[in-house]
């Protein structure tokens, strides 16, 4: 049994929530055979993290990169490989991995179908490098 206690003061100070529709978010080129959609960042009110959906075509991978923030990758559709200088990590659909700030890595699709991963970073967002990518649709 759950008991819900409502705080009258909290009701008075409600913040409007925003629904971000992936289908209405611009698609950006993210290397050959890779695209991304920025879902949440400071542009729509998220102050301490960032979320993007990354799509990788069969046999393709992102460029090798590092971030100044912590990164979490969630294998949303299909299996994702995260490759560092020291190891390769296979993420089956539904798995996730934490990538510490400053870790050189890339993401690869070794399957025959386009995969989708959710990219979450904190604190802050690497929005400037993602927002600088060319919008293709």
Note the pLDDT tens digit of each residue in 85-129.
999 999 999 999 999 989 999 999 999 999 999 988 887 665 556
Question: What's the pLDDT at 131?
Answer: 60
pLDDT at 2: 45
Please state, in angstroms and rounded to a whole number, the distance separating the CA atoms of residues 117 and 96: 9
Nearest CA to 91 out of 83, 78, 105, 79 is that of: 79
Helix, strand or coil for residue 10?
helix
Q: In what order do the strands lie in the sheet with 28-29?
A: 28-29, 34-40, 50-56, 115-122, 70-77, 96-99
CATH homologous superfamily of 25-131 equals: Jelly Rolls (2.60.120.10)
Is-contact 60 115, C-beta < 8 A?
A: no
Question: pLDDT: is 30 or 51 the higher one?
Answer: 51
Is the predicted pLDDT of residue 134 greater than 90, yes or no? no
Q: Which of 10-14, 48-52, 102-106 has the highest mean pLDDT?
A: 102-106
pLDDT of residue 30: 78
Please state the domain extents for the chain: 25-131
Are the CB atoms for 52 and 36 separated by under 8 Å?
Answer: yes
In this prediction, residue 46 has a pLDDT band, given cuts at 50, 70 and 90, of: confident
How high does pLDDT run on average in the chain? 83
pLDDT score recorded for residue 88? 96
Would the pLDDT of 3 be above 60?
no
């Amino acid at each position: 049994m759950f008991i819900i206690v409502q705080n009258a003061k909290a009701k008075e100070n409600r913040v409007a929530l925003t629904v971000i529709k992936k289908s209405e978010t611009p698609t950006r080129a993210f290397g050959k055979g890779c695209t991304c959609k920025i879902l949440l960042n400071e542009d729509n009110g998220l102050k301490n993290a960032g979320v993007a959906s990354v799509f990788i075509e069969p046999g393709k991978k992102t460029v090798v990169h590092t971030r100044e923030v912590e990164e979490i990758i969630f294998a949303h559709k299909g299996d994702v490989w995260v490759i560092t200088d020291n190891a390769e990590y296979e993420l089956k659909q539904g798995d996730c991995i934490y990538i510490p700030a400053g870790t050189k890595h890339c993401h690869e699709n070794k399957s025959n179908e386009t995969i989708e991963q959710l990219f979450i970073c904190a604190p802050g967002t690497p929005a400037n490098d993602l927002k600088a990518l060319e919008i293709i649709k």
